[in-house]
């Protein structure tokens, strides 16, 4: 067990070198203090939150486990699936853009948990224009062909009754009319249940890939490091209840293309049937408060999440469904 933990920590530390180097540069050059690192990565659709549960909790979902949809935050979350799990999610994004996601996973016992997942962006009809032949004004060129997607295969396994490790390999593609690009990326994550008041500690790295060439420029995916902790509040207060379950979660996020961010979330379940969720995102330009709810019956959970993006961008609504059997 100690060897497993050591290897996982070594991977995280090695992959964290670029972030650490940047932090050192900020110490040497004070003018970097207000630098938010924006515009340093592409494929921004990979950063959009997936599912009603995680997004309603302010994105503090790295310790969530037991459902196929948890793979989008931490592939180690698949380790708690006991049989089969299927997830579908839909987000009504800005400018009539639709964000769709799916995931399915199956536990094969000693072989581990295997999963298939993906996200897709539907940009709708985008009219193209070009400078007119007489160089005066513009003329229509028809609808542009824009598509973004990522398809992944995941594997997760419990090495003890408390420690789980998971990973995803995914093919990411972006078509921008006549130009296209693609790359293979990786996610890796861990979850450890301390056994004390259901306190869980988790880490994950998302969207690790090589550089991508687009025309004559190179760029990378939005590499993101996460570390989080969650606990059962009622247990911490010395109370036990078969009908009530209340969790609080906190998460630190270090993205390649922004300064450090923090997510705070909570989830309350009544009798395993109805869930109320809320959260807040810190150090975001627009995002802030989130909330939502879920209903679960006969192994099927339907969830809704609301996110406030400020006066200019407005609100984002998400719905998702999960089936466990």
DSSP states of 182-224: EEEEEEEEEEEE-SSTT-EEEEEEEEE---EEETTEEE----E
Q: Given a cut of 50, is residue 15 above it in pLDDT? A: no
Q: Given a cut of 80, is residue 32 above it in pLDDT? A: no
Q: Decide: 100 and 120 in contact? Cβ < 8 Å.
A: yes
- Number of domains making up the chain: 1
- The CATH number linked to 243 is 2.40.160.60
Q: Decide: 81 and 107 in contact? Cβ < 8 Å.
A: yes
Least confidently predicted of 22-26, 38-42, 186-190, 225-229: 22-26
Q: According to the model, what pLDDT value does residue 164 have? A: 95
- Highest average pLDDT, of 9-18, 188-197, 212-221, comes from 188-197
Q: According to the model, what pLDDT value does residue 17 have? A: 44
pLDDT in tens, 200-220: 999 999 999 998 877 778 888
Q: According to the model, what pLDDT value does residue 24 have? A: 45
- How wide is the angle at C-alpha 41 spanned by C-alphas 144 and 76, nearest 5°? 105
**pLDDT band at residue 128 using 50, 70 and 90 as cut-offs:** confident
CA distance 115 to 123: 27
Query: What SS3 class is residue 150?
Result: strand
pLDDT in tens, 248-288: 999 999 998 888 999 999 999 999 999 999 999 999 988 89
**Tokens 């969530």 belong to which residue?**
64
Q: Given a cut of 80, is residue 295 above it in pLDDT? A: yes
Domain of residue 295 covers 2-324
In this structure, what token pair is assigned to residue 216? 């004559």
**pLDDT band at residue 146 using 50, 70 and 90 as cut-offs:** confident
Q: According to the model, what pLDDT value does residue 125 have? A: 75
- Mean pLDDT calculated for residue range 118-131: 85
User: Which is higher by pLDDT, 85 or 142?
Assistant: 85
Q: What is the mean pLDDT of the chain?
A: 87
Q: According to the model, what pLDDT value does residue 25 have? A: 44
Q: Given a cut of 70, is residue 46 above it in pLDDT? A: yes
Q: Given a cut of 60, is residue 21 above it in pLDDT? A: no
């Amino acid at each position: 067990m100690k060897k497993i933990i050591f290897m996982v920590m070594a991977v995280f530390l090695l992959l964290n070198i670029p972030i650490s180097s940047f932090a050192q540069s900020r110490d040497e050059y004070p003018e970097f203090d207000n630098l938010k690192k924006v515009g340093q990565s592409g494929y921004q659709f990979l950063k959009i939150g997936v599912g009603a549960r995680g997004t309603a909790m302010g994105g503090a979902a790295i310790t969530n486990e037991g459902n196929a949809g948890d793979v989008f935050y931490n592939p180690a979350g698949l380790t708690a699936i006991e049989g089969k799990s299927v997830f579908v999610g839909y987000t009504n994004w800005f400018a009539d853009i639709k964000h769709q996601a799916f995931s399915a996973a199956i536990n094969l016992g000693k072989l581990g948990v295997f999963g298939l997942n993906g996200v897709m962006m539907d940009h709708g009809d985008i009219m193209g224009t070009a400078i007119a032949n007489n160089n005066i004004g513009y003329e229509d060129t028809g609808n542009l062909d824009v598509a973004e997607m990522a398809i992944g295969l995941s594997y997760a396994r419990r090495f003890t009754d408390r420690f789980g490790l998971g990973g995803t390999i995914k093919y990411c593609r972006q078509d921008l009319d006549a130009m296209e690009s693609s790359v293979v990326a990786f996610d890796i994550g861990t979850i450890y249940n301390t056994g004390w008041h259901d306190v869980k500690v988790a880490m994950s790295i998302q969207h690790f890939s090589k550089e991508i060439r687009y025309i004559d420029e190179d760029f990378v995916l939005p590499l993101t490091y996460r570390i989080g902790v969650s606990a059962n509040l009622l247990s911490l207060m010395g109370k036990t209840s078969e009908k009530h379950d209340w969790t609080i979660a906190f998460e630190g996020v270090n993205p390649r293309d922004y300064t450090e961010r923090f997510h705070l979330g909570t989830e309350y379940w009544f009798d395993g049937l109805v869930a109320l969720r809320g959260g807040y995102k810190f150090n975001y330009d627009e995002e802030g408060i989130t909330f939502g709810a879920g209903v679960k019956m006969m192994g099927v959970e339907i969830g809704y999440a609301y996110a406030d993006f400020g006066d200019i961008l407005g609100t984002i609504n998400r719905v998702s469904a999960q089936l466990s059997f």
